Amino acid sequence: MGLCSQSCGPTARTLLSGHSGLMLKNSMGFRKFAVSIGYWHDPYIQHFVRLSKERKAPEINRGYFARVHGVSQLIKAFLQKTECHCQILNLGAGMDTTFWRLKDEDLLPSKYFEVDFPMIVTRKLHSIKYKPFLLQPIIELHSEDTLQIDGHLLDSKRYAIIGADLRDLPDLEEKLKKCNMNPQLPTLLITECVLVYMTPEQSANLLKWAANSFETAMFINYEQVNMDDRFGQIMIENLRRRQCDLAGVETCKSLESQKERLLSNGWETASAVNMMEVYSRLPQAEASRIESLEFLDEMELLEQLMKHYCLCWASKGGSELGLKEITY
């Protein structure tokens, strides 16, 4: 019998309570903890987030590793297919550091855009403006004498951060175009635990807009799945106790419902895997490395958690580039 086939024991409930909490707070704090003990390398995250003294559960750390690894693999596959002659739109980016890490690997697209609520963008821009370690890489790529940076906007030659609400598509599109978004370029759009906070109608509108706005495009979405079972219901209950409803949870019933959402909103191909499948496909050397970092008491609990998150990707056009061939 699975860990939560009928009910969840105290250990599972404790983990789920903590995991639900991380979706409410700045999840970058959880990422920073995983980075601090060696799950992956990110010298930039420390400039955005303070390290909490609270130790995070190994299941959470491995889950974040799988998430970062899976999304990164798909991003790099897209960049390889397009030879970096493309643009990336990270929607709901928060304090994400992908731009700097891609620059370090010489894998930057023609332009990298980030979008989030103005309040979050203001915080991020404050960190960038006053920390040379973050600002200098942007300036190095900027050919103009002046760099546009104010409360809700940064616009440079290769990187832009925009304060906008993803539910207000006319405003979003206007701001992106002002920062020289190019609809003719192959475009990768990324959402991580973003669509689930929108109503199904709102997320469908965003997906349709993305499919209709770019001739050649790929969409990556990371979020919950299998939320109809007991384990998923406990996750939802924990969030509701914190006055947080997942407005779009009905689209997170299964991998099939996740794919169908993409296909019914203008995308030509769609694939989805749960995060346990992502984890199980890690190269043996990498799996051994991260499993040596912390002792894991209950493997079954990790499996249950991983099976309730998924990585989805879809494509439109780009047959000459081979976008349909991208897989994890």
Closest CA to 115 of 181, 196, 176: 176
Which residue carries 């332009």 as its tokens?
A: 111
Alpha carbon dihedral 195, 104, 72, 233, in 10-degree steps, equals -50
Alpha carbon separation from 179 to 126, 158, 246, 277 (Å, rounded): 19, 10, 31, 38
**Residues forming the annotated binding site?**
67, 92, 165-166, 192
Q: Which two tokens stand for residue 36?
A: 């601090």
Closest CA to 114 of 158, 78, 69: 158
The β-bridge partners of 91 are 115, 191
User: Residue 287 in 3-state DSSP?
Assistant: helix
Q: Which two tokens stand for residue 310?
A: 């998924």
Parallel/antiparallel/unpaired status of strands 187-192 and 153-155: unpaired
**Residues forming the annotated binding site for S-adenosyl-L-methionine?**
67, 92, 165-166, 192
Q: Which two tokens stand for residue 276?
A: 């346990």
Are 324 and 269 spatial neighbours (Cβ–Cβ below 8 Å)? yes
Q: How many CB atoms lie within 10 A of CB 240?
A: 12
